[in-house]
Amino acid sequence: MLGRGRGLRSSGGRLFNSAGEPARALPFFSAAWELPQRAGDHDLAVDAAHVLAIASDVEAAERWVSVALDYIEAHGVGPQWRGMLHHNLGWTYFEAGRFEDALGAFRRDEAIRETSGNAQTLKVARYAVVRTLRALSRVDEAIALGERVVALADAANDAAPYVYEELAECYAVKGEMEEAQRFAARAHAILSENASFVRDEPVRLARLATLAAGAAAAD
């Protein structure tokens, strides 16, 4: 899974959140939300609200995203924050197993990126949609969008390894193992050279290797 977008935050909050202690990080992030408002630094204030949403449970994350969106509207903050807020809330929903809610959030991010993003941010937004469609067993829709993302990336001489991975899994679900093998091989060739992926995602990497070898049935 692609990581969430994360901006500036207090050093104490960053350390606690990275250590898996978001409750201890929240007071630091709360201070980071209050101080820039008083200083009139609206971008930094929204940044603080968005990391508060990331560090919170689902209900609190929803509240912080709503607060941040209202703040953006009131202060004319750049539109890139709106996409990021929806994107990160989508992953919060996804991790809680609320896939329909996640899909809605990711679709909102996609719509924003279509009008005010760039090719890379749109690719990331659409990856999240594809991943969630697969989680919802809407495999044909996931394949249609994934193939579109890959076609655009190929035309730009760009790589989309996480989308290749999703297409490999989707085609495996359908029993179309030749296509699954082709996309798994493309994903594995890139992700096996990604040190953080190799370290953090050994199960996914092994799965890609198996699919690339043409030896796996769908999970």
DSSP string spanning 41-71?
Answer: -HHHHHHHHHHHHHHS-HHHHHHHHHHHHHH
Widest CA span in the chain: 60
Name the residue with higher pLDDT: 45 or 104.
Answer: 104
The rounded distance, in Å, linking the Cα atoms of 29 and 11 is 10
Check pLDDT > 70 for residue 137: yes
Contact of 113 with 122, CB cutoff 8 Å: yes
Q: By residue range, what is the domain housing residue 15?
A: 7-78
The 8 Å CB, 24+ separation contacts for 57-62 are: 58/92, 58/93, 58/96, 58/98, 61/88, 61/89, 61/92, 62/89
Q: How many domains does the chain have?
A: 1
Name the residue with higher pLDDT: 78 or 195.
Answer: 195
Residue 73 inside a domain? The answer is yes
Q: For residue 166, what pLDDT is reported? A: 98
- What percent of the chain lies above the pLDDT cut of 70? 83
Beta-sheet strands, E only, within 78-184: none
Q: Give the 3-state secondary structure percentages of the chain, helix then strand then coil, rounded to 5.
A: 80, 0, 20
pTM above 0.75, yes or no: yes
Average pLDDT over residues 49-53: 88
Q: Give per-residue pLDDT as tens, 106-118.
A: 999 999 999 988 9
The rounded distance, in Å, linking the Cα atoms of 14 and 2 is 19
Residue 212 inside a domain? The answer is no
Please tell me the total number of residues recorded for the chain in this structure.
Answer: 219
Residue 94 inside a domain? The answer is no
Residue 143 inside a domain? The answer is no
Residue 173 inside a domain? The answer is no
The rounded distance, in Å, linking the Cα atoms of 4 and 9 is 14
Check pLDDT > 50 for residue 61: yes
How sure is the predictor about 26, in pLDDT bands with cuts at 50, 70 and 90? low
Other C-beta atoms within 10 Å of 170: how many? 26
Residue 108 inside a domain? The answer is no
The rounded distance, in Å, linking the Cα atoms of 62 and 92 is 9
Residue 213 inside a domain? The answer is no
Residue 205 inside a domain? The answer is no
